[in-house]
Amino acid sequence: MAALAAAYTAVNKTELVRVEHLTLPFPNLPEGLEGLTIAQLSDLHLGWFDSITAIHRGIDLALAQRPDVIVLTGDFVHRPRPDQAQRCAKVIGRLRAPLGVYAIFGNHDHYGDARVVERPLRDVGIDVLRNEHRRITVDGAHLWLLGLDDAREGWGDWPRMLRGVPPEGFKVLLAHEPDLADTSAHLGIDLQLSGHTHGGQVCLPGLPQVWLPTYGRRYRSGLYRVGPMWLYTNRGLGSAIPPLRINCPPEVTIIRLTSKERNSHHDGSSTPG
């Protein structure tokens, strides 16, 4: 086990957290939301060979971009133990954004009592959405932020989450597992943000990814168009089994919303940090 931990640390010291920049067009984007930026972080996995340096660096990079909204798409801890939950909350409690910091749970957050994780997060000002939504208003325009509790572990409740959300509203969904996109695309969602896959963790040329979990095998990493909806799968900041990353660096994503069509939706900029 000590050798595994040492190998993990060695690999991660050679990989920098990357900031992936995207500009996504939406013909139905309300005028007041033009240029709004969302920072996404995911899959910290504190308590399992975690690289606390990478997590701190990811937070620093996210804050340096000065996003309007920050979202966290699950798997804060490897197991919901009080010590790891408190440690996690202390680390990410630095996150601040003008329009709020919001979070959902992933499957690992439910490998026990998720309330153990929820309470410390709320104590540091993070709004945890468990099958809930929030209306974010800018210059009279509304963004409906939807938070689906983890579906893989059976906690997701789509009707409850959507209750009271106008069908014509501009909707951004936080859903831990990306392969839920085939469902959400039929529900009038404009953008789904997910994690869960860690990008496969070990990505060698000509070979399949070593690690891809259930509900994360179709939309593995990066940007996808699923029917009328955009989906982005974040590579995360932490790792699971195997506890290493090769050619798959940790990630912070910065997404800019626009009503203007572009030739390239990924800005082509990937900033190491």
Classify residue 97: in a domain, yes or no. yes
**Above 50 in pLDDT, residue 221?**
yes
- Predicted local confidence at residue 273, as pLDDT: 59
Classify residue 225: in a domain, yes or no. yes
- Predicted local confidence at residue 54, as pLDDT: 84
Classify residue 264: in a domain, yes or no. no
Classify residue 198: in a domain, yes or no. yes
Classify residue 265: in a domain, yes or no. no
Classify residue 273: in a domain, yes or no. no
CA proximity to 148, closest of 165, 171, 170, 131: 131
Percent of the chain with pLDDT over 70: 86
Classify residue 40: in a domain, yes or no. yes
Buried-state track 162-199, b at ≥16 Cβ within 10 A, e below 16: beebeeebbbbbbbbbbbbbebbbeebbbbbbbbbbbb
Tracing tokens 């208003």 back to the chain, one arrives at: 137
Kindly report, residue by residue over 120-175, the tens digit of the pLDDT.
999 999 999 999 999 999 999 999 999 999 999 999 999 999 999 999 999 999 99
Rg (CA), the chain: 17
CATH of the domain at 85: 3.60.21.10
Which residues, in sequence order, are CB contacts of 6 under 8 Å at separation 6+?
none
- Predicted local confidence at residue 216, as pLDDT: 79
Range of the domain at 237: 2-259
Question: What total of structural domains would you count in the chain?
Answer: 1
Classify residue 152: in a domain, yes or no. yes
